[in-house]
Amino acid sequence: MSTASFTSGQPATRTDADLIAGNKRFYDALWADAHLCPPERFNTWPLVAELAARTTRRLEVAPGLRPRLPLTDTQFVDLSRPALAELRRHGARVANAMIGALPFQDASFDFVCAFDILEHVVDDEGALGELTRVAAPGASLLLSVPLHPEAWTAFDDFVGHYRRYEPETIRALLARHGFTIERSAVYGMQPKSSKLLDLGQWFLTHQRTRAMWWYNRVFMPLGMRFQKPLDFKPGFDPAPGVDEVLLVCRKAGT
């Protein structure tokens, strides 16, 4: 793991194997009882449609059953077999793999998407290195990450996060791998109420099946219904208190 990408104050005792196993348990259970949400229903769709129209060489890493890229002409990669089975059933092209070992040749894609992924892996340098390797020169990269280690909560730990990023840390990480941040927006659907988060975690811990049912059939649809349009700003200069950001990046080259 790169020490440059880790900030103190966050749990660092979990190994990569611990994170993989924990994430797989959590998301396999989540996706096993979920329906696929089409990408057109997310507030990312106007941006995605704009970028996707330029190429059919597209990759989305670990979408679960919430893909943001079009199902047609996009390669999807995920660790969760229930998610892959459902994506395949809807006609998507899928592969069972991890972000740190993508089974594709160099420069295979012009549009790469990785929402809420880097914070889940120990070796974020290696993970971003793989995204860089498979991205062609000039490729677009959509990346979302949580910000500010001091904002760490039990929710981060519960859903399998390894870190939150300081803005300068994620900016430097991307720069080391040849990516420039062109624009950014406040992103994410995490509830602001700590009491609501505590209640949700209690149900997920003690009544997981019931909690997953409510999340997939009630809270997720409500959250999607009340999504706000993304407000993109040039570059990346997040205001204080921003919990998560979506970054639109460009790989160096022509």
Q: Which domains does the chain have, with CATH numbers?
A: 3-190+228-251 (3.40.50.150)
**Quick one: average pLDDT of 90-103?**
95
pLDDT(87) > 50? yes
> In the structure, what pLDDT confidence band is assigned to residue 34 with cuts at 50, 70 and 90?
confident
Candidates 179, 78, 173, 61; CA nearest to 114 is 61
Report residue 254 CA to chain centroid gap.
26
> In the structure, what pLDDT confidence band is assigned to residue 56 with cuts at 50, 70 and 90?
very high
> In the structure, what pLDDT confidence band is assigned to residue 221 with cuts at 50, 70 and 90?
low
**Quick one: average pLDDT of 13-38?**
74
Give the residue, 15 or 64, on which the prediction is more confident.
64
pLDDT(165) > 60? yes
pLDDT attached to residue 10: 54
Count the residues in the chain: 254
6 burial level (CB within 10 Å; 0-12, 13-18, 19+) = middle
Tokens representing 177 are 């791998």
pLDDT(4) > 70? no
Q: Are strands 244-251 and 58-61 parallel, antiparallel or unpaired?
A: unpaired
Distance CA 147, CA 79 (A): 24
Tell me phi and psi for residue 210, to 5 degrees.
Answer: -65, -40
Q: Are strands 109-115 and 233-234 parallel, antiparallel or unpaired?
A: unpaired
pLDDT attached to residue 40: 95
> In the structure, what pLDDT confidence band is assigned to residue 27 with cuts at 50, 70 and 90?
confident
Tokens representing 140 are 């677009």
- Name the DSSP letter for residue 117: -
